[in-house]
Amino acid sequence: MVRKAVTSGDVARHANVSQSAVSRAFTAGASVAPATRARILESADTLGYRPNALARAMISGRSRLIALVSPNFDNYFYAPATRILSRKLQERGYSNLLFVAEPDDTDEIVQRIMQYRVEGIVMEAATLSSNQADECANTGVPVVLFNRYNATLQASSVVSDNQEGGRLVADFLVNGGHKRIAFIAGDEKTSTSRDRETGFTTELEKHGVTLAARAVGHFTSQGAAEATRQLFGGDGKLPDAVFVASDHMAVTVMDVLRDELGLSVPDQISVVGHDDSEPAALAAYNLTTVTQSIEELAVATVDTLLERIDSDSVTPKSVVVPVKLNVRGSAKLPVRLSPACGLRQ
């Protein structure tokens, strides 16, 4: 039942012009007499003509297609990120080919991406093998890594200032008078988790504090629950604060602390997250966390990508977006010691 699509030739015949005139009528800034264009557009309208983007892409060499590669897991950060990235690209005249990637099928995905002759690639998470990166680089398709970076890759990257995030949390917790401070990592293979940790521990050391305990939560709820039990399930001297590498994990950490281990937050344990994703703002968690603007990350990503597409430049660019601490109620506030207290003065 697929009706044969209307072509520019059909419109040309109907409007009594050449086929190329029709093409021009649909090209912004082409030299067509207004009257002719009007007649053509009318014919096109009555016939229900839509230019064939595939044919256009073939001849012009510009597909106006961007591949968006997103990781296949539930995460309060990536969901809005994908949405906003897609939206921004759309607004700039590009359409998105969405690929939801498992770590082990990036290879097949790269194949498909290349087959559709995309003009650029946004990689939200899946780690490209150097092989795959080469493949993209060789064909000259610009790649921007969103929320990740990889020094060995010929790819641009846009990340939050994750080290600064960790630093801010370290200062905040130390000033809050915490003595035994712990960290729950995400996925140790990711730059995101590593940078947050580095910034965090480095700043702690500056204050003369060493990390009291550490566990890995793999950026998943289940992993976070286990990490929490590991750190707080014993009956020795418990940490009095924990920095969790993502909000997605942090809410589960709070659940386990309160409902399973009967500890109170922040009275007994202060919890700080990272991302400021949607559940962090829920009253039941009211999570103190590091805010990273998905909007800013997305804008920077799209700008970086389109710039590289337009300029044909190959030099990768790295953008770091600033973060700030969003103080809510899940961690003790820094005690501002007045001189009268006599302490530290």
Q: Where does this chain bind DNA (CB under 7 A)?
A: 4-5, 7-9, 16-21, 23-24, 26-27, 31-33, 35-37, 49, 51-52, 55-56, 58-60
Which residues of this chain interact with its own copies, rule CB under 8 A? 1-3, 5, 48, 50-55, 57-58, 61, 63, 68, 70, 72, 74, 79-80, 82-83, 86-87, 90, 95-100, 111-112, 114-117, 135, 138-141, 251-252, 254-256, 258-260, 278-279, 282-285, 312-314
Nearest distance from C-beta of residue 94 to DNA, angstroms: 16
Which of its own copies, DNA, none sits in contact with 24, Cβ below 5 to 8 A by type? Answer: DNA
Please give the helix or strand (H or E) that residue 283 lies within, else none.
none
Torsion of CA 77, 74, 72, 87, to 10 degrees: -40
Closer of 314 and 335 to its own copies (Cβ) = 314
Which of its own copies, DNA, none sits in contact with 33, Cβ below 5 to 8 A by type? Answer: DNA
Q: Alpha helices of 176-293 — where are they, by DSSP H?
A: 191-206, 221-232, 247-255
What's the token pair of residue 318?
């790295």
Closer of 93 and 262 to DNA (Cβ) = 93
Distance CA 261, CA 230 (A): 11
Give me the phi and psi of 272, to 5 degrees please: -130, 135
Which of its own copies, DNA, none sits in contact with 18, Cβ below 5 to 8 A by type? Answer: DNA
- Considering only CA atoms, which of 64, 45, 48 is closest in space to residue 56? 64
Which of DNA, its own copies, none sits in contact with 26, Cβ below 5 to 8 A by type? Answer: DNA
Report yes or no: 121 and 141 within 8 Å, Cβ to Cβ: yes
Cα 315 to Cα 143, 223, 312: the distances in Å are 11, 38, 9
Closer of 21 and 331 to DNA (Cβ) = 21
Which of DNA, its own copies, none sits in contact with 28, Cβ below 5 to 8 A by type? Answer: none
Nearest distance from C-beta of residue 27 to DNA, angstroms: 6
Nearest distance from C-beta of residue 111 to DNA, angstroms: 13
What's the token pair of residue 303?
């700008």
Closer of 212 and 297 to its own copies (Cβ) = 297
Closer of 193 and 220 to its own copies (Cβ) = 220
Q: 3-class DSSP state for residue 18?
A: coil
Nearest distance from C-beta of residue 54 to its own copies, angstroms: 5
What's the token pair of residue 95?
């359409």
Residue type, 214: R
Closer of 8 and 252 to DNA (Cβ) = 8
Which of DNA, its own copies, none sits in contact with 341, Cβ below 5 to 8 A by type? Answer: none
Closer of 100 and 209 to its own copies (Cβ) = 100
CA 123 from centre of chain: 9
Nearest distance from C-beta of residue 84 to its own copies, angstroms: 8
Cα 257 to Cα 49, 260, 269, 283, 330: the distances in Å are 61, 6, 8, 17, 12
Closer of 63 and 277 to DNA (Cβ) = 63
Which of DNA, its own copies, none sits in contact with 314, Cβ below 5 to 8 A by type? Answer: its own copies
Which of DNA, its own copies, none sits in contact with 279, Cβ below 5 to 8 A by type? Answer: its own copies
Per-residue DSSP letters for 20-87? HHHHHHTSTT----HHHHHHHHHHHHHHT----HHHHHHHHS---EEEEEEESS--TTHHHHHHHHHH
Other C-beta atoms closer than 10 Å to the C-beta of 102 total 12
Which of DNA, its own copies, none sits in contact with 19, Cβ below 5 to 8 A by type? Answer: DNA
Nearest distance from C-beta of residue 310 to DNA, angstroms: 15
